[in-house]
Amino acid sequence: MIIEQTYQVRGGDFAHAGDASSKVKKLLKQLDVDPRKIKSIVIALYEAEVNIVAHAWEGIIRILIDRDHIRMVLEDKGPGIADIEQAMVEGYSTASREVREMGFGAGMGLSNIKRNTDQMEITSRVGEGTVLTMVNYF
Amino acid sequence: MKISTVIELTEATLVCGGDKTELMVERAFSSDLMSDVLTLDTEGLLLITGLANIQTIRTAEMADIHYILFVRNKKVTPEMAELAGENHMVLLATPFSLFKTSGILYKHGLKPVY
């Protein structure tokens, strides 16, 4: 069983931030994945989706669900991350006031993504964008 | 603690989820920081917050939180109520502050997360 899904994400569109994560959550529930696993997956995905809305201009989320795992690839066009190691440090943030007003931007997202995934990889080019790959086993 | 008791103690109004007021919450977490809420790993949680926007509801959806109490009578928009309804949540609104609300519920036995 392999299921592939693609979702578009628009930078700055907070009204719809989380739409993709919500759809993935419903899909995983239908597939009868362990609820605790679903929670970790969608929290990581939601953090990453909010990151695109908060920092990038646009992005695409590709989901691939196989028999025993889910692979989530989030590719955005945006400013990129100059120093990924620094961005991973809890409390470090470059978020705008608007992002903070939505309850985010505390510099906790990337470390929370790491905590909730089995594999996580970030590559980024400044001025071009960022690719985040996350894998969780069921 | 029953949701109906939370309503009574905090003089809250029920915004949506009226069929679930006899359900129980064990613990509560007070925060306006959704990033912090997303790090919790607690079942049967009441979220007490002054942050009322669509991302509050989205955060609760992702974190499997079914009960939210908004303080200082923050307005719940129709979009928020609709999303909460889809996810079978209970939304409450109290005129009390975050501090007063938390204090009253703590005094009456609602447990903290940390």
From CA A44, how far away is CA A108, in angstroms rounded? 11
What tens-digit pLDDT sequence spans chain B (114 residues)?
999 999 999 999 999 998 999 999 999 999 999 999 999 999 889 999 999 999 999 999 999 999 999 999 899 999 999 999 999 999 999 999 999 999 999 999 999 999
CA–CA distances in Å: residue B58 to residues A32, A88, B65: 21, 23, 10
Partners of residue B56 in chain A, C-beta under 8 Å:
103
DSSP classification of residue B38: T
Residue of chain B nearest A41, judged by CA positions: B62
Boundaries of domain holding B93: 3-108
Q: Are A38 and A116 in contact (CB under 8 A)?
A: no
Is B55 in Cβ contact with A18 (below 8 Å)?
Answer: yes
* Domain annotation for chain A: domains and CATH numbers: 3-137 (3.30.565.10)
Best probe of the B interface among A24, A25, A27, A46, by most B CBs < 10 A, is A46
From CA B80, how far away is CA B103, in angstroms rounded? 26
Number of domains into which chain B is organized: 1
Partners of residue B79 in chain A, C-beta under 8 Å:
15
Interface pTM (ipTM) of the complex? 0.92
Domain membership flag for residue B76: yes
Domain membership flag for residue B114: no
The tally of CA atoms less than 13 A away on the side-chain side of residue A25 is 22
Domain membership flag for residue B113: no
CATH number of the domain encompassing residue B96: 3.40.1390.20
From CA B77, how far away is CA A81, in angstroms rounded? 35
Domain membership flag for residue B44: yes
Give A3→chain B minimum CA distance, Å. Answer: 21
Tens-digit pLDDT profile for residues A12-58: 999 999 999 999 999 999 999 999 999 999 999 999 999 999 999 99
Domain membership flag for residue B96: yes
